[in-house]
Amino acid sequence: MKARVTVTLKNGVLDPQGQAIEGALGSLGFSGVGAVRQGKVFDIEVSETDPAKAETEIKAMCEKLLANTVIENYTIAIDR
């Protein structure tokens, strides 16, 4: 079973990398771009065939390693 985990900074957490990207896009001539927020995407394949169990397993991965839950949110999309 495959899943996509998207990790983003929580609202209110400063995002210097996003600000740098925003500035760079402006320097490259892309006007009207604002409030860029960067994140991470993980494509994960697990051997579990039950979608509920797979999601539980991937959630544990997020909580323990993939996301810093103090400052980041994550979403899980299971590809059935």
- Looking at this protein, which amino acid is placed at residue 67? A
- Residue 10, pLDDT > 90, answer yes
Please answer whether residues 71 and 9 qualify as being in contact, where contact means their C-beta atoms are separated by less than 8 angstroms. yes
Q: For residue 17, what pLDDT band results from cuts at 50, 70 and 90? A: very high
pLDDT value, residue 34: 86
Over the chain, what HEC string results?
Answer: CEEEEEEEECCCCCCHHHHHHHHHHHHCCCCCCCCCCCEEEEEEECCCCCHHHHHHHHHHHHHHHHCCCCCEEEEEEEEC
10: containing domain: 2-79
pLDDT tens-digit map of 21-74: 999 999 999 999 989 999 999 999 999 999 999 999 999 999 999 999 999 999
The CATH number of residue 57's host domain is 3.30.1280.10
Number of domains in the chain: 1
